[in-house]
Structure 1
Amino acid sequence: MLFDRYRYVVVEGPIGVGKTSLARRLAEHYEATALLEKPEENPFLARFYENPARHALSTQLFFLFQRINEVRDLAQMDLFRASTVADYLFDKDVLFARLNLSDDEFALYQNIYHNLAPQVPAPDLVIYLQASPEALVERVHKRATPYERQIADSYLTRLAQAYSDFFYHYDTAPVFIVNSENLNFVDSDEDFAFLLQRIEGMRGQREFFSRGA
């Protein structure tokens, strides 16, 4: 069983890759606590996509405090003794900050981040979902939430590369890397079961999983 080995599992990846859908299904399958991002609560997000330069810092800081409060509350209540699946990794907040903030804003952000980060427990396992920029663009356009319609294709490309760079160096927890382009974890029980089998058989600190078209 997955949660016999990993009590705190994080599903990560760029916008449109399916991390929230997979996190929800994992939590339901294993009767675990789901810790999900709430972008709809960020009052600056829609304005960020309209005018990134003006609203990047306020958007980033809102997400930073939102995430630290959720993760810290769980840690204080000792709920990580139970099984928990999250659709965000606290450490990746810096990825978005570096991508979106000016140098002065990023310096301010880093001061705040480094004061908060020690309060965050490390996950036991990170499932990192990958997809090509072209696939991400197609998926984002297909689901078309109101604020996401304004996301530039070039931004999704830069974001996918930023994630790749981030996880190339990430070593805080074991990472199971999944090429998700030819897998449907939500609608295909076979794909979901195959993924679970591969994760439960993981033995090293970093493994890669893919399936051909």
Structure 2
Amino acid sequence: MNLREKYGIPANAVITIAGTVGVGKSTMTQALADALDFRTSFENVDQNPYLDRFYDDFKKWSFHLQIYFLAERFKEQKRIFENGGGFIQDRSIYEDTGIFAKMHQEKGTMDPVDYETYTNLFEAMVMTPYFPHPHLLIYLDGSLDDIVARIQERGRQMEQQTPISYWEETHERYEKWIQSFDACPVLRLNINEYDLLKNPQEIETIVERVGCIIQ
């Protein structure tokens, strides 16, 4: 009996991993997919045509980046459910409007008209009974110091050039966002309570907690 069957997780479940940059979403996505024999859905950072431009000039490219993310994640969500579920998804569609677009509008790096256009489009596409929401969102939580240390350790150039104040801002907004998130059930995991790279067997404890929510 595999872990999915052992803990009663349906074969068609869709689980989304959420959390700020540096918390280990990709590692968790792959570990859970391997444990449950699910497919993965990863964010394609390398082929994003706006990401480098955005980090160079938030104000000029924030709207373009958010529209790109919305379109790509909507298409991916549709693909996942059309394929019958059984997916672990790296990053949710909800974080963009609840955290990033809102932050840029409030800080003046997204035009208010652009922000209204974006949020209207998001609500029309996603916040409807017809949109297939995941069965569970796993929120990876950690202290700001731990997250910044991880960002520095992995050494992506565009992230290294980003001011620490930006990571402070996003960390705070993530914490506020998850408190009111209600599109699907949530499982919160503290990143200091496990180390899947050093101790891969710890994934069973996480699968057990998932099984308590998804039946």
**Same fold (TM > 0.5):** yes
The equivalent position to 2:186 in structure 1, one of 148, 170, 175, is: 175
1:107 is aligned to 2:116: yes
TM-score (norm: length of structure 2): 0.85
Percent of aligned pairs sharing the same letter: 22
Give, as a single letter, the amino acid of the residue that structure 1 aligns with 2:122.
Y
The equivalent position to 2:200 in structure 1, one of 146, 165, 189, is: 189
The equivalent position to 1:89 in structure 2, one of 92, 115, 134, is: 92
Greater relative contact order structure (CA < 8 Å, 6+ sep): 2
Q: Deviations over 1:113-145 (max 9, x none)?
A: 122213531111111000111111110010012
Deviates more, 1:28-37 or 1:100-109: 100-109
Unaligned runs of 5+ in 1: 204-213
Which residue in the other structure is 2:77 paired with? 71
C-alpha distance in 1 between matches for 2:48 and 2:201: 36
Which residue in the other structure is 1:209 paired with? none
Deviates more, 1:127-136 or 1:114-123: 114-123
Give, as a single letter, the amino acid of the residue that structure 1 aligns with 2:51.
L
- Tell me if structure 2 keeps the 8 A contact 1:184–1:192: no
Superposed, 1:127-138 pairs within 5 Å as 127-138=138-149
Superposed, 1:148-159 pairs within 5 Å as 148-159=159-170
The equivalent position to 1:50 in structure 2, one of 27, 47, 56, is: 56
Q: Flag the 1:187–1:152 CA change in 2: closer, same or farther, 3 A.
A: same
Deviates more, 1:64-73 or 1:4-13: 4-13
Which residue in the other structure is 2:153 paired with? 142
TM-score (norm: length of structure 1): 0.86
Q: Deviations over 1:147-187 (max 9, x none)?
A: 22222211111111111111101122111101112421233
Give, as a single letter, the amino acid of the residue that structure 2 aligns with 1:99.
M
**Number of aligned residue pairs:** 201
Superposed, 1:111-130 pairs within 5 Å as 111-117=120-126, 118=128, 120-130=131-141
Q: Flag the 1:166–1:6 CA change in 2: closer, same or farther, 3 A.
A: farther
Q: CA RMSD in A?
A: 2.0
- How much has 1:196 moved relative to structure 2? 2.2
